[in-house]
Amino acid sequence: MQEPFDPGQIDSEPEVAGRKSERRGFLPITTNWFDRVFVGIYLFVALELFWMRFLEQSIPLTVCHVLAIALAVLIVWRG
């Protein structure tokens, strides 16, 4: 016999055993690995542009590269 129709199940996602593609980290949104890579790259570019405009005269751009890569790795790993 078929179970009665539940309209609340329309919006819910089916539960898949062992599915761990999305998780929550310190970012304020639920992300998967691709989202975190995208945010890391976007932040890398924004930090580079900010650094070249305001800080490159006093601090070399290499320092920005190291900071941006470390921040991107942190976001992908723990974000």
Mean pLDDT computed over 1-8 = 64
How confident is the model over 20-79, as pLDDT tens digits?
Answer: 666 667 877 888 889 899 999 999 999 999 999 999 999 999 999 999 999 999 999 987
CA distance 68 to 30: 22
Q: Quick check: 12 pLDDT over 60? A: no
Q: Quick check: 6 pLDDT over 60? A: yes
**Can you read off the two tokens belonging to residue 36?**
């975190």
pTM: 0.64
What is residue 14's predicted lDDT score, i.e. its pLDDT? Answer: 55
Residue 67: alpha-carbon gap to chain centroid: 17
